[in-house]
Chain A
Amino acid sequence: MASVSVQAERPGGLLQRPHATTGFWSWFTTVDHKKIGILYGITAFGFFLIGGSEALLIRVQLARPDQTFLEPAVYNELFTMHGITMVFLVVMPLSAAFFNYLLPLMIGARDVVFPRLNAFSYWAFLFAGLFIYSSWFLGGAPNGGWFGYAPNSVTDPSIGMTFYAIGLLIAGIASTVSAVNLAVTVLNMRAPGMTLFRMPVFVWMGLVVQLLLAFSLPVITIGLVELLFDRLFGTHFFDVAAGGSPVLWQHLFWLFGHPEVYILVLPAMGIVSEILPVFARKPLFGYQFVVFSGIAIGFIGFGVWAHHMFAVGLGPVANTAFAVSTMIIAIPTGVKIFNWLGTLWNGDLRFATPMLFSIGFIAMFVIGGLSGVTHAVVPSDYQQTDTYYIVAHFHYVLFGGAIFGLFAGIYFWWPKVFGRMLSETWGRVNFWLMLIGFNMTFGPMHILGLQGMPRRIQSYPASLGLSFWNMVSSIGAFVIAISVLVFLINAVTSFRKPKQMEADPWDARTLEWSTSSPPPEYNFEEIPVVHSLDDLWHRKYAETEGGRVVPVAAGGSGEMASVGDHVGGDGGAGHEGGHAIHMPSPSYFPLIAAAGFPIAGYGLIFGVPAVVVGLVITLAGFFGWALEPSAE
């Protein structure tokens, strides 16, 4: 990778900025959105393996009735940690990995608008995850469910839920800050000519997701603060005897929690919206409608939260209102699905692995969406809620939906990020095993729920007749595990290939494919000027009056690296119009500022001095950040 020129150095060197952009230590000081994206991706995948292992343990315990492989205390920790991990430490950061890496490239920018803030978000996320997981060794992991309903989450004697509250607060800071950063990037850093309606759908979904984060995280922040204060300081937020209300926790949690599920799935929808057109060789059908549907889902998503609370006793008026709003939100979701079908219609479909996962996404998400609509029928939900029928629904939308979409993105952008292709053969095995295993695991859960299996139970008796489908489900989980192993093999062996990838191996449509694979640190030799949606495609192909699509002569634009060039991994230092491109320097301070938070967190649990130490470190980090010399 090109090394950037040395920065101004202050005598005394305390606030000297590091300069290396290559090498092991450069990963700790990087402010390059691409490296940060890779960090998010690797970390999220690591947590995926851990969260998946937790799921396997759960499925072993539930494979047969009346098993005592896991006692209730451990089982409760496992399902809680599985939920926290998958939601906050896997799907969210994996989406963040894609947003970080791709948003600047897709809008023709060189980086996000606040690169050090970007690094800070990553380190805060990493420390939050490590903090929560350290609880296993420091007194007990969170055990009150990922949803942490009060009063149980307050009264449970284990320290675990305190780790939960503090850890998620730190993660929330990371995500809020990142949301502001990426939203401003999309709004302000677009290449000339890229109006909002020439942005790729993935960028639009990114914008909607960041705004959802910015407006939903504060609500759960307050919920978590109130939970933490009740646990640590004897306050009465959820104390019924003092006049408090446990239902308040639920409102605060779900006011965040429902937008959160759209935060989890919209990125994958954006990814699929990019991949389908490439492998159908035609544009996304109904671009504006897909965009507007995403925006509508974002808005309406703030109005459906109490559909998680139908059985709480809010009364028929509230239940009616939320049943209706929940049904309404199905409409824009359906619009998206129909537009994806329209994209496939009359296409020239090629089933590379990204396309397989994208089609799998559509197929699985439809099932999850339909079961979701059945929940909106409140009197039926009285039977379905808190059973495995719900577990089936959300795994269909979050695994069959979000995870499949993210895997599609991994296969699609792997050559761009790492300069090598993942193997198609292994990819096919990965996909089919995952699809089969997934349906084996979660399909039967619809039946189990309706036949009387509640959620979050460590065991069930043989007399309920739930044994057969539980066994099928548990076997399916191991098939998923094998499919993930296949992916790991694919990923690792891909690095044995030489790093020799063209800019645009898929003949794609968006700007990131116009630069080398991987891109240079400065992303583009010259910032492109955008003339239309799918600008890259229109530079490659023109439509004649008769509607024929013909390729444009290679090198026609002259402004970008030509499609089809072999650009090696190491480019020279970028030159634009004769002068060097200046990229922001790396910095220590984002990591330092982030490091104070978990230390303060430990202090809240184990002793006030650590709180002071943590806050001082964070403050010092922020001051250093503000005062260090800028990059030249």
Chain B
Amino acid sequence: MATVQQNTLILVWLCVLPFFVAGCAALFPRLSIRFHSEAERVAMAWAPFSLAALACIMGVGLTASLLPPALAGNPVIADYWWTQDLYHFRLQGDALSLLAVFAVYALGFPLHLHLVGLREAGPAATDRGPIDHTGAHRAALILAAQGCAIAALLSADLIVLVFSVQVALICLWGLVSITMPQRGLRFLLLAQVCGLLLLGGALLMWRQVGDTSIQALPLLLLSMNPSVLRLVSVLILLGLLPLISGAPAYGWLSSLLPLKRSIPMAPATLLVIMGTALMLRLLPGVLLLPGLPTFAALCLVLGLFSLWWGGLRAWIATDMGAFAAWLTVAQSGYVLVALAAASSPNAPPAVLQAAAMQILLAPLAALTIWSVASYVATRTGSDALPGISGMIKTMPLAGVALLAGGLSLAGVPPLAGFHVQRLLIGGLFADARPALGVVVILADLLLVAAVLGVFRQAFLRGEPPPPAAPASPWLSGQLALLTVGIALIGLWPGPLIHWTEVIFRTALSVTP
């Protein structure tokens, strides 16, 4: 068992402190005015973004260093003393959790670079001129939400898990409320409802077995009354389902689009990663087994709805931002269908493996589409499909990235998403559920049609392309990085498939 020394972690985070102090200058503009000249403030305005990007790099490095022992089947544990007698803030990284953490950091890094890119685009691309303090607040809130999602993924105690999930949702509430206070309130509602359902399940478990530790869960629950166990599992499932389904996203996601493109993507994707990984982590234990029929039915209904509703809305989208938003919703549908299929007693492990793989690949592909929308909007001033055309000549990189990200989401070979679809559809047919497999294939075809339709409208039409501003090196680099990443994973899926197999041998094979 690998144990992380607290001193090492504290030392690593102390290195961030100077950047944090610099970032505060932009986070608190009134203080900044007193201490710094205008030129100094302009020079330091990038600090919050670079702080956040640096934190993501450090997170990726730290997670990568912890992955080898986790993939070898040894849990990585960091014990923090939180309260003396109530609950311990104990972090435990198994392979699945660490892969999900990796995905959260991987999502955050380009996101913060992207914010830097938007800043460099100048006043036309921002709301308040070159020094955009709102952007700094957003950067801080995204970072906080990321941190809480990571704490939830790694927490070894159900009460700490509830705490972390709720704080992550509160951070997302703040993030959305900066520009849309009324719509952001849905996150507050979600935080309270999901939190109380999860807390109810955790406390019922504590009442029965006197402990809320996740590690000892399967053995502890053996002594539990079956009816209470069923109630516990249903409460926890109901608490996690809204996170996976992206339910809060349906109503308002597309209406956030006139804002910074990456901002609305962050809450939806974070929720899906966090909810899915938590569900996968709790699924194999006894905890969720009694609730499987309920779980499967709810997952399937929500999943098919998300998949088809998102796909259809993407197909009829009139701007690239809305297209990206609805593709993101559709992605949560794949995860839910995979989880529902995995609940079948005879389901092959491939379907659950597909859900685990989707945690890593869907954010990558969705981020690519969001980046294309931002790239086009930043350079041409609009991403409305009727107004843009023939851009393959002026922005070939954006066209390639759109195809790579979109077709990967639809599972077209040889891109990364193909391996998810291969495992999912193969598993469904192997489990004698061909009808569901055909429904998923049809949804894939719908997504392919939507992606090709947008590509044809924006890049292939004969009209002259709109005038384009010079490309930001940050945004161009981000697009190139994401496109190459999707292609490389698709062509060389070995490590990813190996990792998901390891998850089954370790985290997901927990049985009483």
Asked if A and B are interacting partners, one says no
Instruction: Identify the A interface with B (CB < 8 A).
Output: none
Instruction: Identify the B interface with A (CB < 8 A).
Output: none
